[in-house]
Structure 1
Amino acid sequence: MSGAATPYATASARASVAPTGAATPAPPPPPTATTPTLPPPSTFDILPDLHKLLKRILETPSHPPASTPTPAQLSAEGPLEIQHVATAANDIRLKIQKARRAVTSLPGIDRTCEDQEEEIEDLEMRIARLKASLRELGQPTAQAEDGDGDQSMTG
């Protein structure tokens, strides 16, 4: 005889039926398909460019140039005169602006620390409730342990 599990059924019979009622946790929300993609790490990597620029500033030329080079004639690797630093640093400045735009376009960037801490507390409370529900589901009922609650048909 098979039927719906009752509170007096054996543990194996109770386990075969999905739990119902207030102890049943809500199913997790489906994953969102609009998960934002993060910018590549190279977007934020300005240190090599900055190091190269500083190295060029600190280098002393082995022989002074005969005439002052124009910005188009500046070497990307050679020594850099102080009057050309702004032009050479322009690429780094643009890279920093691009990184700043990438960060501000991320979702939730405008949230305060208090908002995030409140959400963390809510999630921790939810985890505690779910763990308690799991513990309750894992413990057998008192009637099943006593054996007195067996109301199987005998005849």
Structure 2
Amino acid sequence: LKQNTNLIISLAIVIAISIISPLLNVANLNAWSFFNIISAAFSGIIKWAFFAFFIEMIASIFKRGGRLEVFLTLSAFALLPWIFMGPIALFKTGGLLTGIIGVLAGLGVWIWTTILTLFAIIKAYDLSSERILLFIFVPVLGGIVFLDWLVGFFSTLARIVMV
């Protein structure tokens, strides 16, 4: 795929992938199910955009920022394996063996999408395979430090408030 694929097509992919789950869980179509489908579409767009902005911020740490549109496009196409989740959901309605097959296939789709997203990051921000590990490690380390700070903050606050 070309990197300069239209962003509107990418948006349509994100919306289509986002509404798969609500469509599969609809027993009968009513106003509530319509609301769930619309909210899933908006939620998918928001998650996609925030994830892309987060990756863009990390890329700017490595002096590789400024390629948000390219990453948005590539990351949307990385979501395409999720279209298989509809047929995979049918496996889960069967017996034990087909349920296990459905779970394993779902994990396979998740791993496939994760790998494609990593390739999208590598391609969009022109990173080497080694730098992608650091690219992933920095936010994980930041999250651990933030959680440690948060726990320390609230435990200190609790000690101050307790008489």
TM-score (structure 1 length as normaliser): 0.26
Which of the two has higher C-alpha Rg? 1
Instruction: Compare the two structures and name the one with the higher helix fraction.
Output: 2
Q: Answer 1 or 2: higher relative contact order, Cα 8 Å, separation at least 6.
A: 1
Using the size of structure 2 for normalisation, the TM-score is: 0.25
